[in-house]
Amino acid sequence: MATASVYKNFVGGRWEASATGKTFENRNPANTGEVVGLFQRSNADDADRAVQAAKAAFKTWRLVPAPKRAEILFRAGQLLIERKESYAREMTREMGKPLPETRGDVQEAIDMLFYTAGEGRRMFGHTTPSELENKFQMSVRQPVGVCALITPWNFPMAIPSWKIVPALVCGNTAVIKPATDTPLSVFHLVQTLVDAGLPEGVMNVVAGTGKDVGEPLVTHPDVDLVSFTGSTDTGRRITKLCAPTIKKHSLEMGGKNPIIVMDDADLELALDGSIWSAFGTTGQRCTAASRIIMHEAVADSFTEQFVERAKRLRLGDGLREDTDVGPLINEAQLKKVHQYVKIGQDEGAELLCGGTQVKEGDLAKGLFYAPTVFAGVKPSMQIAQEEIFGPVLSLIKVGSLEEAVDVANDVAYGLSASVFTPDVSRAMVAVRDLYTGIVYVNAGTIGAEVHLPFGGTKGTGNGHREAGEAALDIFSEWKAVYVDYSGRLQRAQIDNAPTQ
């Protein structure tokens, strides 16, 4: 049996072992007997060394012209194109989703590198006329400093790229703690940046748990900004840890995303979008559709066809070309999903399909769960209110668009929503009234592109947005600049008498 590779932390431009001398296993969820790699079980001392390396590098990196910083990102994007297939295959091994999806994950990082690198020559501020004579004024962006980046396992290269790339182009340095279930993809991304010419200390990687590495990074006095994507509970914890020093932090958390299927919808299109949104990535997306809100006029037909399609989905190793749905990420997530299925049954929802772990044949060594559909779900039920993060879908009947929007909005989250209707008036009402950060018309709830802002309302986050130009607002601070060349003291608002 081949020996698993050992991956070290990346600190100050060097690969180094943890001070603990310990490692943890990264296992393939499609075959839990396969160890993908061994990673450092780091601690607060490791986190501190990485922060100090980033702090030292910030002094020179912030002075590198932004277009020059961007050139490194462009080179990294080109390298990632060349490495896309190998990195996608390794990602499937470590997190389980099918190869077409992991190729898309790497592609999103490529897109982020190319799009955000363009900001190196834009990064627009503003100039405005002064109310006083012989005075010039403008606003410019400045970097924040050392950024701590904490990322989840479901998009192990795309989401890290959302944080790393805008942080770097703005002139910040960073330390990233990858998810313990999927650290390898982050190591691949950082190695690509290093190969593209990123200077020592600008980007650092420290593997380990949230308790041992994440919290020391969040509370470190030399960390100026925390960017987190993950669970709502952890996001609340980060907010509390940042509060004493009023540390800048951005949070991207959960979702309970609805698809509204109106009575005039193209049902074939709605079925396509709903199956993909509910069971893509095994439902392990913050934007996954976990509720389908159906108009009563089409509910029976839609339900029958949806369940038939769900039953036909093929579970399997994501490296197989015929696999539709891969495994859940770990044993704890499998138990959580099954617990919610039991809750749904106890609440009186009707289980139409799924609801069980699948362990036959080639699936015996993996963490596979059958696509699960509940009917007769009331909006107040726990399975219709709480994020499950697995292949479990609730079907809810309504009598109108207004009722559908009310049901859609009546949850603690507000990330993504969609509506299927050919009626432009109805579509625009839904776009206006759905209180989410993302709305799709005649498409599912997944498929965001990197040049628009990504994020949500209510319990989904704390108001920041990732991707697009909006990402620069997380990783930079505004500075207003006033240049008075009048040769005398001019007092705004005082020496500015209205013209008579």
Mind telling me the catalytic residues? 252, 286
Whose tokens are 């909005």? That residue is 409
Q: Is 420 helix (H, G, I), strand (E, B) or coil?
A: strand
Number of Cβ within 10 Å of residue 430's Cβ equals: 24
CB-count exposure of residue 243 (10 Å: 0-12, 13-18, 19+): exposed
E strand residue ranges, 276-332: 289-295
What is the spatial distance between Cα 445 and Cα 3, in angstroms, rounded to a whole number?
41
Helix (H) or strand (E) holding 137: strand 135-143
Return all residues near 398 (Cβ < 8 A) that are at least 6 apart.
293, 294, 295, 296, 404, 407
Q: Which two tokens stand for residue 152?
A: 């989840």
What is the spatial distance between Cα 346 and Cα 344, in angstroms, rounded to a whole number?
5
Whose tokens are 């209180």? That residue is 435
CB-count exposure of residue 271 (10 Å: 0-12, 13-18, 19+): buried
Pick the closest to residue 359 from 368, 371, 346 (CA basis): 368
The single-letter DSSP state of residue 198 is P
Q: For 317-333, give one letter per residue: b (16+ CB within 10 A) or e.
A: bbbeeebbbbbbbbeeb
CB-count exposure of residue 6 (10 Å: 0-12, 13-18, 19+): exposed
Q: Is 331 helix (H, G, I), strand (E, B) or coil?
A: helix
What is the spatial distance between Cα 158 and Cα 173, in angstroms, rounded to a whole number?
19
Q: How far is CA 249 from CA 236, 241, 417, 471, 475, in A?
A: 11, 10, 25, 13, 10
What is the spatial distance between Cα 399 and Cα 380, in angstroms, rounded to a whole number?
17
Q: Which amino acid is at 377?
A: V
E strand residue ranges, 347-429: 350-353, 357-358, 368-369, 372-375, 392-398, 413-414, 416-420
Pick the closest to residue 163 from 477, 456, 474 (CA basis): 474
Does residue 179 contact residue 151 with C-beta atoms inside 8 Å? yes
Q: How many CA atoms lie within 13 A of 451 on its CB side?
A: 6
Q: Is 432 helix (H, G, I), strand (E, B) or coil?
A: helix
Q: Is 49 helix (H, G, I), strand (E, B) or coil?
A: helix
